[in-house]
Amino acid sequence: MTNLPPSLVVAPDPGDARLSAPVSGIDQSGNKIDMRVITERPLTLYLNSQEVVTMMTIGDHPDLLGLGYLINQDMLKPDDPISAIDYDEELGVVVVRTETETKFEEKLKKKVRTSGCAQGTIFGDVIDAFENIKLADKAELRTSWLGALTKAINTTPSLYLEAGAIHGCVLCEEDRPLVYMEDVGRHNAVDKIAGWMAVNKVDAASKIFYTTGRLTSEMVIKTVMMGIPILVSRSGFTAWGVDLARKSGLTLVGRARGERFVVLSGEDRVVFDSLAGSKK
């Protein structure tokens, strides 16, 4: 694949035929067109023998998606011993296996038996964990990095550029994109990166997280759960996302396009070192 930033360890693969499908239609003039559209397929996640959730996903990196989901839901810690991650493509099932039973398996069983849905219980556990996380104070975001990052990300070959209808998330360090994941749901793209970080024992304290989607409460919570102190988006904010970012000390940067941006939380980490970002 050409035109990739040299720092990228994991990049989108728009040439993977499994991730998009050819379709035919007509345009506004009635002319026949051929194009590719993003695929969606169900992936059912198990934690040992307990079914957790079924997600709609494009289907790449199912092992990282499953592991990252469990970590971001605080059902596993990044350093918990994993004995295996098994994926059956035909069944659409990924099983994350731990050396010992976790505390969440019995909780999930009880919740599913009583109401058929475990997500409310899990959300409460995530909020409790979220409130106890302390992000790195010494992390910084230089304004000169933002322009370089957005240009590198926006020009990287991707499924978004190929077919649209997809979200992208990128783990970055300074002005370098490191891991670029895409999926139909931005939460899936985040979870894939969380899984990659856990597998590779990556220190989050110096990292920057970039997303193409809105800065919602979910995005803030997941970023903080991963221990990343800076979250950047080319899109806008939600009020609860801003509120949670301020409570957790997360630097929240939105509407980032080139050297233009808005910071609504964690301004102390921003270093104005470029002409366009110089304070007047």
Confirm whether 7 is domain-assigned.
no
pTM here is 0.89
Per-residue pLDDT tens for 37-78? Answer: 999 999 999 999 999 999 999 999 999 999 999 999 999 988
* For residue 29, pLDDT beyond 60: yes
User: Does residue 215 sit within a domain?
Assistant: yes
- Cα–Cα distances (Å) from 90 to 43, 154, 274, in that order, read 10, 34, 51
Confidence (pLDDT) at 116: 37
Q: Would 278 be classed as within a structural domain?
A: no
42 lies in some domain: no
pLDDT of residue 3: 76
Residue 261 lies in a domain: yes
Q: CATH number for the domain including 185? A: 3.40.140.10
The number of folded domains in the chain is: 1
pLDDT digits (tens, 9 = 90+) for 110-157: 554 433 333 444 456 788 888 899 999 999 999 999 999 999 999 999
The answer to whether residue 176 is domain-embedded is yes
Note down the domain range covering 153.
141-271
CB atoms within 10 A of CB 81: 9
d(CA 129, CA 81): 20
4 close to 157: Cβ distance less than 8 angstroms: yes
| Mean pLDDT, range 227-240, rounded to an integer | 97
Residue 231 located in a structural domain: yes
d(CA 165, CA 185): 10
What are the tens digits of pLDDT across the range 159-174?
Answer: 998 888 899 999 999 9
Q: Say if 247 falls within a structural domain.
A: yes
For position 106, what pLDDT does the model report?
A: 67
Helix or strand run (H / E) with residue 114: helix 103-115
Q: Using one digit for the tens of pLDDT, what is the confidence trace for 171-225?
A: 999 999 999 999 999 999 999 999 999 999 999 999 999 999 999 999 999 999 9
For residue 280, what pLDDT band results from cuts at 50, 70 and 90? Answer: very low
> What is the predicted pLDDT for the residue at 121?
40
pLDDT of residue 119: 43
Instruction: Report phi then psi at 112, rounded to 5.
Output: -65, -40
